[in-house]
Amino acid sequence: MIGGMCTIASAYRLRAVLAFVAFGLACSSSAPVQPPAESARAFLKDANETLLRLGIESNQAGWVQQTFITLDTEAINARASEAYMTAATGFAKRATQFDGVELTPDERRQLTLLKNFLTMAAPADPKEAAELAQLAASLDGIYGRGKYCPGGESGDACLDVEEITEILARDRNPARLLEVWDGWHSIAPPMKKGYARFVELSNKGARELGFADTGAMWRSKYDMPADAFAKELDRLWGQLRPLYLSLHTYVRARLRQRYGEAVPADGPIPAHLLGNIWAQDWSNVYPDVAPPGGTRAVDLTPVLRARRITPVEMTRYGERFFTSLGFEPLPATFWERSLFVKPRDREVVCHASAWNINQVDDLRFKMCIDQTAEDFTVIHHELGHDFYSRAYSGLPPVLRDSANDGFHEAIGDTIALSVTPEYLVKVGLIPQAPDSSGDIGLLLRTALERLAFLPFGLVVDAWRWQVFDGTVTPETYNKAWWDLRERYQGVRPAAPRGEEFFDPGAKYHVPANTPYTRYFLAAVLQFQFHRALTQAAGCTTPLHRCSIYGSAEAGRRLKAALEMGASKPWPDTLEALTGQRQMDASAMADYYAPLKVWLDQQNQGQKAGW
């Protein structure tokens, strides 16, 4: 899910985190001379063994820290993560030594993945490497400590990101919304100078590894030339833009009814009125835009409560979803070692996550489950991560990852898309599925989350790629940011934002240097997976009412794709799952087709776009 609803913790998690450890290209000059292929194989053996060992240690430390937060467990976890990152950074740099060596395709694939591991490359100059590490930590720290203190007050009067998120979600006083929106963005200007220097140094490191710049290094992870990948994203967005325009036009008109002239009839929507700091998820404005007459939908929550279905039993439903597809049941240790409810005796990270501690079959699950329909769905999503990581566990450790970084979340979400009313009937939770009269409301609600997210999912890296390649310089950081946000999202700040601001820095992934395109890919891919699997399952109802539950054929396809892990370029895995080698956003358009018809009826007489 977007914004970190849940995460898979394993090599996958570690690969996603910031790499800021300097590591030179030192080779021992006294080592015996080996034929190049032999030394490449010895290198791969060392990389696989070392990364598996350090990955397991890091998982163990991470699990203990998240299920028992203390100063000590945090320190232990930080040390274990750092050891893993240091080793992985070293292997990434050394992997380039074998560029011209003739090897098997499987060995070549492992070297490619090792080389593409970094999200930040330190320059070889130790002083510059240290400066880069310091800048990365400092930017992350400024964000982490970021608070808005109204009227220059301090202490308890200050609002952190969670409190501001909550106000933007619930409050409807436009002056208050603007105040806290401005307030949160005030944390970022102190980052600007450091960020510009960070860009210089990380580009230098990337160039030393043979990439044009840091953005090109990120795009190299996708098994196609960097420019071709950027074009692919534009093509996918083109498939969805008409649907987005329909949603945008409809929401703008409804918000205009609530806020009046502050919302233009035919221009961009003010960014602070969409229920979210970054206008990346509009679910919170659902009450303002819901179809008249509301929605009639299944409410699973009272059923779970009335039938006293415990968190563990809810998870058993999730497990049976996968066994119905032909997957092996979860190991006994999953039930012994997982965390299902919030403990009363200690602090834990309740944020749901899935783990594979030994990267083979020590699967776990950490979630403070409430007896709600939402958590019932999240359980299915999280188990998707666990079944994925077990499916690829037979591969060499370096290849135990998803096909590309969009796939892991997309698989979890694909499973969640199959939690339909028909599925709930089949497993005996509700007696019958409701008719389709409430479907528009349900589709609108999820479109406000998933569809509204897409353009923002493109903007964050579109901006950074231009920054890294020098098209955008510090003199135009903020202008470029808002140009992109207006062009893709159709949102605008309430008042002009000059270069004294650094609004990109108010989004976590920018100071944390975490690539963002994966969230866009996951949002698009999950519908493509869902459409293909429901076709394999022989489903004939509209896509949003299809579940793959119980389909051996859908299960066979899914399993074949999951077992491939990162061993092949992602188009191969995509083909195994969907029969297509290209990403295809038309599946998402198909899924929301009934909503689009309805939105276009509501939008009659309105000018679309901005």
Residue numbers of the site for Zn ion (CB under 5 A)? 6, 409, 412
Annotated active-site residue 166? The verdict is no
Shortest distance, position 549 Cβ to Zn ion, whole Å: 20
Nearer to Zn ion, 9 or 129 (CB): 9
Closest CB to Zn ion belongs to which residue?
6
Annotated active-site residue 408? The verdict is no
Nearer to Zn ion, 402 or 573 (CB): 402
Shortest distance, position 311 Cβ to Zn ion, whole Å: 18
Annotated active-site residue 544? The verdict is no
Asked if residue 365 lies in contact with residue 390, where contact means CB atoms within 8 angstroms, the answer is no
Nearer to Zn ion, 16 or 360 (CB): 16
- What is the DSSP annotation of 447-515? HHHHHHHHHHHHHHHHHHHHHHTTSS-GGGHHHHHHHHIIIII-EE-SS---TT--GGGGSTTTTTT--
Annotated active-site residue 380? The verdict is no
Q: Which long-range contacts (CB under 8 A, 24 or more apart) does 568-576 make?
A: 568/109, 568/403, 569/223, 570/222, 570/223, 570/403, 570/404, 570/407, 571/223, 572/403, 573/403, 573/407, 574/403, 574/525, 574/528
Exactly one of 248, 272, 380, 385 is catalytic; name it. Answer: 385
Measured CA to CA, the distance from residue 335 to residue 485 in angstroms comes to: 45
Annotated active-site residue 382? The verdict is yes
Nearer to Zn ion, 218 or 519 (CB): 519
Report the DSSP beta bridge partners of residue 440. none
Measured CA to CA, the distance from residue 603 to residue 152 in angstroms comes to: 44
Nearer to Zn ion, 209 or 352 (CB): 352
Shortest distance, position 385 Cβ to Zn ion, whole Å: 6
The CA distances from residue 456 to 112, 283, 527, in Å, are 29, 15, 18
Measured CA to CA, the distance from residue 235 to residue 231 in angstroms comes to: 6
The CA distances from residue 422 to 5, 243, 318, in Å, are 25, 26, 15
Annotated active-site residue 409? The verdict is yes
CA atoms within 13 A on the CB side of 241: 14
Shortest distance, position 7 Cβ to Zn ion, whole Å: 6
Nearer to Zn ion, 270 or 412 (CB): 412
Shortest distance, position 6 Cβ to Zn ion, whole Å: 4
Secondary structure of residue 571 in the 3-state scheme: helix
Shortest distance, position 494 Cβ to Zn ion, whole Å: 33
Q: What is the DSSP letter of 562?
A: H
Annotated active-site residue 381? The verdict is yes
CA end-to-end span of the chain, whole Å?
29
Measured CA to CA, the distance from residue 86 to residue 54 in angstroms comes to: 10
Asked if residue 355 lies in contact with residue 364, where contact means CB atoms within 8 angstroms, the answer is yes
Exactly one of 84, 222, 519, 549 is catalytic; name it. Answer: 519
Asked if residue 300 lies in contact with residue 376, where contact means CB atoms within 8 angstroms, the answer is yes
Measured CA to CA, the distance from residue 379 to residue 61 in angstroms comes to: 23
Nearer to Zn ion, 48 or 356 (CB): 356
Nearer to Zn ion, 409 or 449 (CB): 409
Please count the other Cβ atoms lying within 10 Å of the Cβ belonging to residue 260. 9
Exactly one of 74, 228, 351, 475 is catalytic; name it. Answer: 351
Exactly one of 9, 22, 226, 352 is catalytic; name it. Answer: 352
Shortest distance, position 379 Cβ to Zn ion, whole Å: 11
Report, as residue numbers or ranges, the catalytic residues: 351-352, 381-382, 385, 409, 509, 519
